[in-house]
Structure 1
Amino acid sequence: MENKSMLGIGIIGIGIVGERLLQAFKDHPRTEVVGIFDANEKRLVEVGENYGIEIFYDSIQLIESRKVDCIYLAVPPKFHYSLAKEIIKRGKHIICEKPLANSLLEAEEMLALAEQENIMHAMNFPTVYRPSFLTLQNHVKKGFLGELTRIEVQCYFPEWPRSWQNNNWIKSREQGGFIREVFPHYIEMIQRLFGDIENVCSYIEYPSNEDQCEKSTVAIATLIDGTPILFNAVSDIGMKENLKFTLRGTSGVLHHKNWTELWRETPDIKEQVILPSENHFTSFINDIIRNFNGEPTRLVTFREGVKIQMVLEKILEGCNCRKF
């Protein structure tokens, strides 16, 4: 892949999540945000003026800009497939938000097209660049857990959608909900640490309004070696948001809490781990640059995205679903 001294970035979709990475690209010395597009023209003009970035009223014109090397695709999931095809067939590199697509079939075709065109394909999974996860990963490699006996994911939300991301698509059954929006982070962490997830079965509770996303779910699965995995999530409950990823082993237990905290526990101690101060977005962009330089990276590619999509679809299929 071509070594680039400065990478030209185009951004399609500038909601809350898209704006976070926009700021990171703008701050990085090796990336330049060439232009942005959003279907919401008011939002597009506002962000363009705030950041001093050229705005495009047509996504294809942005994709085709000669200054653009790579497109960051941050639109709702149902639009990933159609836009990704336009990006890939024009030979542009792509960073996609999660989940990769709105179906496994779409995700698999996106991967096949990206590999056929020999472009860089990556996904924005900032959690795997956070010091909390990297330190947890080091504990696992050094044998802190002993023999792994169980993996648990707990997600409790006082409301869904969350106040900072309250929009129509994220509360829709078609493409929203915390299973699609939050679970991919944990699925990626599990599969990065321990390999593929299989034997998925879930129980999902939906509201009576068939347009609205899930209210709660309990899902069970296993690693290939049979280690059990439990997903437990519920919204609209009387507590602060609490997200926890727990690895239980014969020698110790690790708790990854609310994205940024890591706790370790043995029969004798329970303590919070002091973490280094690092900007995970900067680390992510550094890896994108390394990829162009032919160096090894920790990037989550479309190949991992397809594996995540497989697990998501099995959870969403449900063994038994109930409407309130």
Structure 2
Amino acid sequence: MSKNKSKPRKASVSANKVAELAGVSRSAVSRTFTDGASVSPETRAKVLAAAEKLGYHVNHLARGLIQHRSGIVCLIVSEMQTPYQAALVETAIRRLQAIGKVVMVLNTAGQPENVAAALRQTLNYRADATVVISGGPPASLIETCIENGQRVILINRNEPIEGAQFVIMDNEGAAREACLMLRRAGCSRLALVSSTAGTPSIVARERAFLAAAAEFGLSVTVSRSGPTGYDTGAEAARHLLAASDRPDGVFCATDLLAFGFMDAARIEFRMAIPDDLCVVGFDDIPQAGWIGYNLTTFRQPLTEIIDYIAGIIDADEADVPREKSLPVQIVWRKTVRP
């Protein structure tokens, strides 16, 4: 009975071997694979032919570490299964790879201690930048990373962290507009459906909506019964709509919350939307346009967010504004009365 023997792993081809085959110096090989470096056409042709024959590939990581740039961009993300986060991560990976970056995605699963550990890992890999999509890492940890030379860009989070850069949405303006939309639709008993997540973006929406309602003299009932998801929205509907003074206008801090709320309202309480109840969401995830929801919501500009980040990754931090604010867009559908 014959035994299968695994082949020994083939050693990687070195630049010295390429130089030897091409009959040039080691430095000529290095210059050939360095953008903008001076090398004659004849030498370049010899080096490229030898590299092709030997199967040589430049070790960009080693070169980058020597130059104090690894080409790595880390994405810190939680709740990757949600449509909004999945779309944001997918957009980021495509765009950053297009500009030659190696993208490392660290999934924190929503736990604060996991977010902290993931952010520390980026220091070990000497990432050029870390983009924090999750709202989890404490300011003290982010400050530690910045002190160690890490470039940190935070999405939808604005707080006084010296050295960090921020890309934020106009959460306040959108939440105020949501209140105005419901008021114009004739709603007088409002509800705010949020979650226990307490992320900076959700908190900003909550505060702005409550402030606008108070300005217009409208009462608001607030529900935060669990994490930011479909089930929490459905539970909020069961709680709010069972009351004698149930709301006639609802602002949900995310679309997923709105979906759960709408399904429970229509199926369990036999309510018609928007005739009996107006609902506004936030995010404009793809499902918001499905015929079963047709949700009026606010669209976050995913492409603009990532394009901006891709544009500043390699720029001198001194030349980049500390904060970039991007507007959100109203998407009118069928869940608010004209």
Regarding TM over 0.5, the answer is no
More strand by share: 1
TM range (shorter): 0.3 to 0.5
Please tell me whether Structure 1 or Structure 2 has the larger radius of gyration of its CA atoms: 2
More helix by share: 2
| TM-score, length of structure 2 as denominator length | 0.38
| TM-score, length of structure 1 as denominator length | 0.39
